[in-house]
Amino acid sequence: MATNGENQNGRHQEVGHKSLLQSDALYQYILDTSVYPKEPEPMKELREITAKHPWNIMTTSADEGQFLSMLLKLINAKNTMEIGVFIGYYLLATTMALPDDGQILAMNINRENYEIGLPVIEKVGLAHKIEFKEGHALPVLDQMLEDGKYHETYDFIFVDAGKENYLNYHKILIDLVKIGGLIGYNNTLWNGSVVAPSYVPLRKYVRYYRDFLLEPNKALVADPRIEICQLSVGDGITFCHHIG
């Protein structure tokens, strides 16, 4: 019998259920009390579309989306980037949080999932804020670095793909983010597995990516160009404030 909010395929029934809270009931309480009552209708629609996708666990959760949306407004973000779009829950949240002349450069390895969510963003008239780039993020970022014109231009960068490249991304992103800007690396507590002893059985993909997250977790705290703050929202997110 499935436990811990997972269905029999090993995926959580609740879309984006990546909370590190010990109790599912407590997490549900947060969603029901503070998140869903304030969730804008188009985001609810996108979340429900995402729920039907076999990989719905990949989405940004509603509570993390709400938090990031508030953060974007608080820092008056205008020029932003997302690495790893999936169906676009965070992307929609960003287009709603940015001012009318705000921009998000959204990257994903392929377009098919992005195109599932795009009609919702188009319906609310916010697609003009998106520049979508299809492909592996690293070569795209390499090209941007080489170009020179993106140097210190981003207010906020949300990194939510390619865990194996977080440190490679960081080498480039630190050049692209403004001094005073933020980079958020998602999933840095990786299902809580970062503290799992070696004898604990982990799902194959959790074990495989765990070491890729342990590495940046050690390296980011030692980078003198940033202040960091690791939060246990969603699956763990590490914010890096570029202080120069």
Please give the residue ranges that form the binding site for ligand SAM (CB under 6 A): 58-60, 83-86, 89-90, 107-109, 113, 136-137, 160-162
Rounded to 5°, angle at Cα 57 from 54 and 62: 125
Least distance to ligand SAM from the beta carbon of 197, Å? 26
- CB-based contacts of 2, cutoff 8 Å, min separation 6: 8
Question: How many helices, marked H, and strands, marked E, lie in the chain?
Answer: 8, 7
Q: Answer yes or no: are the C-beta atoms of 151 and 142 closer than 8 Å.
A: no
Query: Beta strands 79-83 and 103-108: pairing type?
Result: parallel
Minimum distance, C-beta of residue 199 to ligand SAM, in the bound complex (Å): 28
Tokens representing 16? 């984006």
Place of tokens 């996708």: 53
Q: How far is the CB of 135 from ligand SAM (least distance, A)?
A: 7
Task: Provide, rounded to whole angstroms, the least separation between the CB of residue 50 and ligand SAM.
Answer: 7
Query: Nearer to ligand SAM by C-beta: 15 or 201?
Result: 15
Q: Which is nearer to ligand SAM, 59 or 80 (CB)?
A: 59
| Shortest spacing between CB 126 and ligand SAM, in angstroms | 15
Q: Return the number of the residue (19 or 113) whose C-beta is nearest ligand SAM.
A: 113
> Which CB atom, from 109 or from 228, has the smaller least distance to ligand SAM?
109
What's the closest the beta carbon of residue 64 comes to ligand SAM, in angstroms? 8
Choose between 163 and 242: whose C-beta lies nearer to ligand SAM: 163
Q: Which is nearer to ligand SAM, 79 or 165 (CB)?
A: 165
C-alpha pair distances (Å), 221 with each of 29, 194, 198, 228: 32, 16, 24, 6
Q: What is the 3-state secondary structure (H, E, C) of 3-68?
A: CCCECCCCCECCCCCCCCCCCHHHHHHHHHHHHHHHCCHHHHHHHHHHHCCCCHHHCCCHHHHHHH
